[in-house]
Amino acid sequence: MDEILGQRVVGLRPLPGGCVGEVYQAQLANGQQVVVKVDTRPRPQLHLEGYMLTYLTQHSHLPVPQVYQATPERLVMAFLPGDSRFDPTTERDAAAHLAALHQITAPRFGLEQDTLIGGLPQPNPWTDSWLDFFRDHRLLYMAWQAVAAGRLPTPIFARLEKLAGQLDRWLSEPDRPALIHGDVWTTNVLAERGRVTGFIDPAIYYAHSEIELAFITLFGTFGRDFFAAYREHHPILPGFWETRRHLYNLYPLLVHVHLFGGGYVAPVDQTLCQFGY
């Protein structure tokens, strides 16, 4: 990596990366600092991450890194300061940002093109019904991909399929689709001195905003201060904590089953049992 954006690279250090490619902080000869992702696999798709970050820049005020270059093999972005340690002030700031993001709407659920989550394909066909979208393009799609990868047992898939056919027992259509980041877990948020400096590695689409909140509870990205602040902008309707978040978190759990298998199958099994399947 001798040159980036027409500038000689004078310093390079690895950064913690996600599921896709290698990540570096690069110092350029003109003094600029950038982040570079490189994917050398047979079918690289870093341009999709670039597309999602650019979409957020163009359609929202969510703080995300500016994209300078996006090809399947290489993504060059602005370097954002900060780390993933959050105090109460940071959590309140994150809540304000995500509440504002969730105000952005579209006529239907989905997105103008398919994207990725954790490097896995994420289909986003425009769909009138949230329940249909969540059933077909989130739960059943990812579950079947996990079965095909040999990581989700077919008997569990069969139980999930039965639950997916009866989602209307617990879920209802939201008032409108909401734009979500889609992958708000700890290392995908950067913060410094009580404010969020950037949300990275998105998996965007228009959804029910509750699926974003559920994901935040699954891995403990934020806690009580976040949710108290979020409720100042949007109500969290009864039944979310007790019921709906567990259904919505089946999707990220299935993503993890597909990626890693093993210990993530048990929480899927437990959730199915919780709902009587």
Selection from 225, 183, 245 nearest residue 96 by Cα: 225
Return the CATH number of the domain spanning residue range 3-78.
3.30.200.20
pLDDT averaged over the chain? 95
183 is annotated as an active-site residue? yes
Where are the CATH 3.90.1200.10 domain residues in the chain? 88-274
Q: What is the pLDDT of residues 156-188, one digit of tens each?
A: 999 999 999 999 999 999 999 999 999 999 999
Asked if 152 and 263 count as a contact pair (C-beta separation under 8 A), the reply is no
Q: How far apart are CA 226 and CA 79, in angstroms?
A: 25
Token pair for residue 178?
Answer: 């909401």
- CATH 3.30.200.20 residue ranges for the chain: 3-78
What is residue 38's three-state secondary structure? strand
* Fold designation for 88-274: Aminoglycoside 3'-phosphotransferase; Chain: A, domain 2 (3.90.1200)
* Burial call 64-73: b when 16+ CB within 10 Å, e when fewer: bbebbebeee
pLDDT at 194 over 70: yes
**What whole-number distance in Å separates Cα of residue 122 and Cα of residue 141?**
9
- Confidence at 71, pLDDT banded by 50, 70, 90: very high
Which is it for the CA torsion 99, 104, 110, 114, positive or negative? negative
Helical packing angle, 224-233 and 209-218, nearest 10°: 170
Reported as a single tens digit per residue, the pLDDT across 195-206 is 999 999 999 999
Condensed to tens digits (0 to 9), the pLDDT of residues 121-167 reads: 999 999 999 999 999 999 999 999 999 999 999 999 999 999 999 99
Instruction: Select which of 183, 201, 225, 269 is catalytic.
Output: 183
Q: What is the pLDDT of residue 159?
A: 98
